[in-house]
Amino acid sequence: MSEGEQWEPPPGSWASSAARRRNMQAIRARDTKPERRIRQLLHARGLRYRVAARPLADLRRTADIVFRPAKTAVFIDGCYWHGCPQHYVSPRTNPGYWSGKVAGNIARDRDTDQRLTEAGWLVLRFWEHEDSGACADAIAAAVIARRTALARGR
């Protein structure tokens, strides 16, 4: 593209403009502020975990925080991308594409929950707007309880 030319999205593209494309590409898939804060709190409690790891090797999906021995997968869902009932607002630009994308994400989340549960995993989901301390407390309690139960052979 030569100097002075305007970028035009290709036909059928999800980006409505070059600025929108840059904005959407800059959104992090991992290491978001809520994730980092919760991980920091969990680490301070002495818990160790894997970050952005696949709980199941044959499932091409990653959890934000994984406690392998306790078979616990934690997801910190973004309000927009996962359709938070409190905060999701359908976009004004290209709403058909984005609403379909979010609906697909929600369906994939439910499928992931089901597959992990069937494989004996505990799935914990939190919204990005939830209090990090409360999330960390709930995760720590669940992991400790799960470790104890698995150690007893239940």
pLDDT tens digit sequence for 57-70: 999 999 999 999 99
Query: What whole-number percentage of the chain has pLDDT above 90?
Result: 65
Question: At residue 1, does pLDDT exceed 50?
Answer: no
Residue 2 included in any domain: no
Residue 25 included in any domain: no
Query: What whole-number percentage of the chain has pLDDT above 70?
Result: 81
Compute and round to an integer the Cα radius of gyration of the chain: 19
At 149, is the pLDDT very low, low, confident or very high (cuts 50, 70, 90)?
very high
Task: Write the CATH number for 64.
Answer: 3.40.960.10
Which structural domain, as residue segments, surrounds residue 58? 30-151
Average pLDDT, the chain: 87
| Residue 124 CB neighbours (<10 A) | 20
9 and 17 Cβ atoms separated by less than 8 Å:
yes
In this prediction, residue 7 carries a pLDDT of 46
In this prediction, residue 154 carries a pLDDT of 62
In this prediction, residue 9 carries a pLDDT of 52
Could you give the count of Cα atoms lying within 13 Å of 116 in the half-sphere of its Cβ? 27
Residue 12 included in any domain: no
Residue 119 included in any domain: yes
Give the DSSP H or E segment for 75. strand 72-77
Report pTM.
0.81
Residue 16 included in any domain: no
Q: Supply angle C-alpha 125, 127, 133, rounded to 5.
A: 90
Question: At residue 32, does pLDDT exceed 50?
Answer: yes
Residue 146 included in any domain: yes
Residue 21 included in any domain: no
Residue 9 included in any domain: no
Domain count, the chain: 1
Question: At residue 4, does pLDDT exceed 70?
Answer: no
- The mean pLDDT of 10-37, rounded to a whole number, is 68
pLDDT tens digit sequence for 77-121: 999 889 999 988 887 888 888 889 999 999 999 999 999 999 999
107 and 141 Cβ atoms separated by less than 8 Å:
no
